[in-house]
Structure 1
């Protein structure tokens, strides 16, 4: 049991990952507070901030032993207009820069800064195995640009001498939100199908494994630098859809959803489901992390086994 006086400040604490991480930290004996644009929510203490205007409660970082930086507008909630793209970028980079500024200018006792990024940094790489040394995709790839600038902002914290861990997160599997319920809905309605060619790789992680990984990164001083947060077993989109249908006990009756149809409906956002990213988990395994759900079927059964 961890001492209750160890305090974790989470930006993006109201999001899918932030809420589950908060629960698991409380269970482990930590105190948790959120950075929020609202004054209060639920049973978590919260400090106000507004990355768009550069404002933050002066007490926020004085509170924290650890900071977990997850804040960012969802990439999959709506079509990518120019305004939405700006919001996606600014919410990540602006928030991280604001935290870096506060850590530079105020007294604090923050031991570690754990900052989210995304495997979108690698772009569409077909079947190539991608690891942390793989360079980012070219700047015409929107998600790669966002992740690159997000990571550069986190490096400002590292330059202050604070132990900084950048976590490139894959597709997070949760039945409470994110990509999985959207993928599962047509399968449940017996209208499931592979997307595009179906050959594109999906690198994924069960939400509980991700939160356990974030906590280990926070607690263990050996973790430093950049890591992929994905399981060791990426699958193709066709394998993913087939396994999900099997777990949900539904047939797959439709042919593949063609790429042009997805682009028509989703616009540029279709690159989320059409890009192929076969991402290596070797570095986190070498660091000693053990996955509870390394295999896709096992992860999906843990989420949908009762259905």
Structure 2
């Protein structure tokens, strides 16, 4: 019988792609959903409700592996006090619910793999390359990611192998980051944000799914791993490359930081700052990136 992988956030951009990869690799896939969904030949759906602290225990008890992807979008809405709470709790509450089922039933998983983000290193722009040993920042993104990862420790303390995948900007066809960027650039109104010097650590969706698959198959992988390309891509470089692919040179002036701060509030830090991040640790575990050139990656995503 095929081993089962349970996904939280399985209906999102990353979750949908990862589901296809897991099925192709021979795993059965279960997905936790807030709404009633009919099972398919490849996917079994289970109900959960974070607001009601409810989870169908059968989903957890059936699983050999659990991959936690669920979480409110970081840049979907302004960071009000309520929004910040929602961003954090949408990442930590699922872990609490899963932990309670595992502990109560003395259930042992092969591994618990959680998404995290390179935002743990903070909204800072500097030339230093962040590694998994770089201390978490004290800003909202850094503290959110740190609390998120600390929740995973509870599951690790049950004697379960745990992995935290610190993800950069995910690039894919018609979804994710590019879905937000493409319309204005395609219309000829692309622009650089702020100084444009902020680094933009990125990864193609296929490579990200490959890292999750490796985290399942290689039981020597545990702890935190950065999931992004280690290069010098900045907001300016990314913007210029994207504009060139649509056949023009950026003509609009840079959008000043103060305007973005007025429009976005504190959330502007997420687009005005950015650091370089090392992927050496996951590569030493045998992972090989298939998409390492930004222009070729964008061509693949746009075609």
TM superposition score category, shorter chain reference: over 0.9
Following superposition, the deviation at residue 41 of structure 1 comes to 5.6
Query: Which residue pairs with 2:35 in the alignment?
Result: 38
**Quick one: distance in 1 between partners of 2:135 and 2:182?**
33
1:80 maps to 2:75: no
Query: Which residue pairs with 1:171 in the alignment?
Result: 169
Whether the aligned pair in 2 keeps the contact of 1:188 and 1:250 (CA below 8 Å) is no
Runs of 4+ in 1 over 3 A off after TM superposition: none
Whether the aligned pair in 2 keeps the contact of 1:65 and 1:112 (CA below 8 Å) is yes
> Given the two structures, how large is their TM-score scaled by the length of structure 1?
0.94
24, 29, 48: which one pairs with 1:27?
24
Q: Secondary structure at the match of 1:201?
A: coil
Q: Secondary structure at the match of 1:47?
A: strand
Query: Which residue pairs with 2:9 in the alignment?
Result: 12
Following superposition, the deviation at residue 42 of structure 1 comes to 7.0
* 1:247-280 Cα distance to aligned partner (Å, 9 max, x none): 2323311111111111111121111211121111
* 1:25-60 Cα distance to aligned partner (Å, 9 max, x none): 111221111011112167331111122332111201
Structure 1 unaligned segments of length 5 or more: list them.
none
Query: Which residue pairs with 1:197 in the alignment?
Result: 195
Whether the aligned pair in 2 keeps the contact of 1:193 and 1:257 (CA below 8 Å) is yes
> Given the two structures, how large is their TM-score scaled by the length of structure 2?
0.95
**Quick one: distance in 2 between partners of 1:234 and 1:163?**
33
1:156 maps to 2:145: no
**Quick one: distance in 2 between partners of 1:250 and 1:29?**
44
288, 291, 296: which one pairs with 1:290?
288
Whether the aligned pair in 2 keeps the contact of 1:52 and 1:90 (CA below 8 Å) is no
Whether the aligned pair in 1 keeps the contact of 2:169 and 2:201 (CA below 8 Å) is yes
Instruction: Give the RMSD, CA atoms, in angstroms.
Output: 1.4
Whether the aligned pair in 2 keeps the contact of 1:187 and 1:250 (CA below 8 Å) is no
Query: Which residue pairs with 2:135 in the alignment?
Result: 135
Query: Which residue pairs with 1:207 in the alignment?
Result: 205
262, 265, 274: which one pairs with 2:263?
265
* 1:45-91 Cα distance to aligned partner (Å, 9 max, x none): 11111223321112011111110001111112222222111111111
**Quick one: distance in 1 between partners of 2:189 and 2:37?**
41
Whether the aligned pair in 1 keeps the contact of 2:72 and 2:90 (CA below 8 Å) is yes
Give the paired residue count.
Answer: 300
* 1:3-44 Cα distance to aligned partner (Å, 9 max, x none): x61111000101110111001111122111101111216733
Structure 2 unaligned segments of length 5 or more: list them.
none
